[in-house]
Amino acid sequence: MRVYKVKDYQELSRKAANLIAAQVIMKPDCVLGLATGSSPIGTYDNLVAMYENGDVDFSGITTVNLDEYKGLDASNDQSYRYFMNEHFFNRVNVPMERTHVPNGTEPDSAKACADYNEILHQAGTVDLQLLGLGHDGHIGFNEPSDTFADETHCVDLEEITIQANKRFFASEADVPRQAYTMGIGTIMRAKTVLVIVSGADKAKILNQMINGPVTPRVPASILQFHPNAIIIADEAALSETEL
Ligand code: GLP
């Protein structure tokens, strides 16, 4: 794991955007794995600015997102499809038909997961997978578990995740209890993984991810075994980590 310690969220966002832009410039038809949440918003803003300056062209890329709430459609402003359109896809020149997010409106979980696996297989190996870190160590929506799931699956969200994500919803009752997520196996097969972590509230779990035992109880800890994992974290997030 290569860890870049940065001062704050602004610097984190710039650095992450630079790495993603470098990937796209080096391989214009690359497959980007993308993430939602508060962590990547600044990264997307920086990528949009680079696009507007004429420094990056997203017309050749394919994107696959990590996850989606079960039951939310694209018009729901809490769906991850809506988030991606708002923060990134509608602001750059990626062809919308090559942007992929699990289908939250498919009520049949087995079908939703099989369909997304098919999309992932068609897209091919992810060149760079962007990841945030959940407070319980989840990546995508791979919650702590007894095993590491390989491919796309439906998960029951942990209470801590519902609590963390309720800030975006009108009320806690509105937070979906289930989600479809890319599996750990797919994430681990990405050529590069880029984890961005900001804030003191992530300090404990970031230390467990980097220095703790590799265990499905802290799903992100598996990234210790990834051959090309890059972590960009700010001083607050790294305040409990010995490097
Ligand atoms: C969410 C998402 C993850 C995200 C993580 C951290 O629940 N499913 O993909 O990376 O939790 O979110 P945030 O960046 O808002 O802290």
Q: What is the pLDDT of residue 99?
A: 98
Looking at ligand 1, which atom is closest to the CA of residue 202? Answer: 16
Return the exposure string of 37-48: e unless at least 16 CB atoms fall within 10 Å of the residue's CB, then b.
Answer: bebbbbbbbbbb
**Helix or strand run (H / E) with residue 180:** strand 178-181
Distance CA 12, CA 5 (A): 8
Q: Which residue puts its alpha carbon closest to atom 10 of ligand 1?
A: 132
Beta carbons of 47 and 17 less than 8 angstroms apart: yes
pLDDT of residue 118: 98
Q: Is 60 helix (H, G, I), strand (E, B) or coil?
A: coil
Residue 86 known to be catalytic: no
Which residues line the pocket of ligand 1, CB cutoff 6 A? Answer: 35-39, 66-67, 132, 134, 140-141, 161, 165
The Cα diameter of the chain in Å comes to 47
Residue whose CB lies within 8 A of the most ligand 1 atoms, among 12, 13, 34, 36, for a mutation test? 36
CA of 109 to the centre of ligand 1 (A): 21
Contact 116, 122 (CB under 8 A): no
Whether pTM exceeds 0.85:
yes
For the record, the structure tokens of 113 come out as 């997961």
Residue 186 confidence (pLDDT): 98
pLDDT at 155: 97
CA torsion, ordered 34, 214, 242, 201, to nearest 10 deg:
50
Atom 5 in ligand 1: which residue has the minimum CA distance?
Answer: 134
Choice among 68, 106, 127, 143 that is catalytic = 143
* pLDDT mean for each 10 residues of the chain (243 residues): 98 98 98 98 98 98 98 95 98 98 98 98 98 97 97 96 92 95 98 98 98 98 98 98 94
Distance CA 213, CA 221 (A): 7
